[in-house]
Amino acid sequence: MRIRFALALTLMAALLLGGCAAQKSELKPETKTLLRPGAKVVVDSVTNASGQNPIPDLAQRLQDALGQALQREALLAPSPPGGSDLHLSIRITRYETGNAFKRWLMPGYGSTILAMEGELKDAVTGSKVAAIDYSRSVVAGGLYSVGAWSTIISGMADELAKNLKQQIEGAGGDFILTAKARAQEGVATPPAGDSITVQVGPIDDQRTEQVRIGERFAAFNVKMSDVYLSRNATSYLREALSDEIQLAGHRVTQSDPDLTVRLRLNKLWVHTPATALYWDVVGELDCDLVFEPGASDATPITRHYAARKTDRTYVWPSEALLSKVLNASLDDLFAQIKADAVWASIPHRNSK
């Protein structure tokens, strides 16, 4: 009996190891070409699949902005392109022009939203080396957000170019997760009588890892790949915090606020601890939010927030599952921030 039990355990281990090896072969090894130093990018095409074309030549405007952004990062391929270049194709999947006046009437109403998908292919093999999945929003109101369509197009192009440069120069791109634009999913709340004006300060990134956001493991804790965010983490969080503040009925301003908030990011990590039978996909977020009332005699208030979400899978954890857990962690974190009673304690400096 003991011999049979030992043989059964040995066979199970062999099957599990064989299964992991087979799953590893499904990872896209061509993503390693993204790390090739000196690679340049050709913008093959930008198409508008959103069904909306509220401004003239939307796709061409984005294509021009991408070319200019890649040129600034010294990533734009010469003409004619070389054989080692990477070819970028983009599809606009959602575009809403929004309206600055409506945003001022009710935060979150009349938001400008841009979402796009795409892929980067190797010129030699034709294989996909990276997937592109970006979404951005402008929910702020007031005169400074007039023309947000132009700002959001150039901002998205700049951020994509910077992220590509980071990955091409060696930061990596093994596993890319997507965090949703908060305004794209949220429901705007009409401004309450006690709404305040808020200025969102720069994100203070205290993480020891400021490029990777996690690791993915096979069984027996064998590391398989690193995990990255499709956008710059601090840029995303500042935009997301602004979105959530306005969806809660407050107004984001650039000057003379009732309140300035500064987010200190301590942890943003997604990982997949594994056993012989399953993986736990874990998303962890930890931050401090410093509330600085505009009144000169007010004392800053610091609040700590932490979120941890877990999902279990018995098959190889996918990008979609890791992104789902990441977004669930973000949902939890922002729900805690919006529910904090500190918002109601901020004195008003400006008449509404």
pLDDT of amino acid 24: 26
Strand partners for 177: 229
Domain ranges in the chain?
A: 28-173, 174-352
pTM: 0.64
Strand-by-strand arrangement of the 41-48 sheet: 41-48, 86-96, 112-122, 128-138
Which residue type, as a one-letter code, is found at position 32?
Answer: K
Stretches in the chain below the pLDDT threshold 70: 1-37, 52-56, 81-84, 97-112, 137-150, 166, 169-175, 183-193, 220, 349-352
Could you tell me where the DSSP H helices lie in 177-232? Answer: 182-185
Compute the distance between CA of residue 336 and CA of residue 306 in angstroms, rounded to an integer. Answer: 9
Task: Tell me which fold the domain 174-352 belongs to.
Answer: Rossmann fold (3.40.50)
Separation of alpha carbons 301 and 213, rounded Å: 28
Q: With contact defined as beta carbons under 8 Å apart, do 81 and 67 qualify?
A: no
Measure the CA dihedral 213/219/225/229, to 10°. Answer: -30
**Is 317 buried (19+), middle (13-18) or exposed (0-12) by CB count in 10 A?**
buried
Domain 28-173 has CATH 1.10.443.10: no
Residue-level pLDDT at 95? 79
